[in-house]
Amino acid sequence: MWKEIDNKLIREFRFKDFQEAFTFMTRVAFIAEKMNHHPAWFNVYNYVKLELSTHDAGDVITEKDRRLALAIDEILQ
């Protein structure tokens, strides 16, 4: 579930292993690039943390972030 913390949408993910985590990140990267919206993220082994905020709007949550969050959620279904 996405959480709103410090003007960011934040979600943490855990996968079976690094390959599964990296596959997820690659899929997110293609979607983000298509939407011209690039998340901040952190990855170690099977753990991925994503932070979404719109930089050109002053690093706050906008509809652009919410659309990307929904698209990321669809990857996991």
List pLDDT tens digits, range 40-62: 999 999 999 999 999 888 889 99
Domain total of the chain: 1
**40: region left, alpha or beta (phi > 0 left; psi from -120 to 50 alpha):** beta
pTM (2 decimals)?
0.91
pLDDT digits (tens, 9 = 90+) for 5-43: 999 999 999 999 999 999 999 999 999 999 999 999 999
Domain residue limits at 33: 3-75
Q: How many residues does the chain have?
A: 77
Q: What is the CATH number of the domain that holds 23?
A: 3.30.1360.20
Which SS3 state, helix, strand or coil, does residue 16 take?
coil
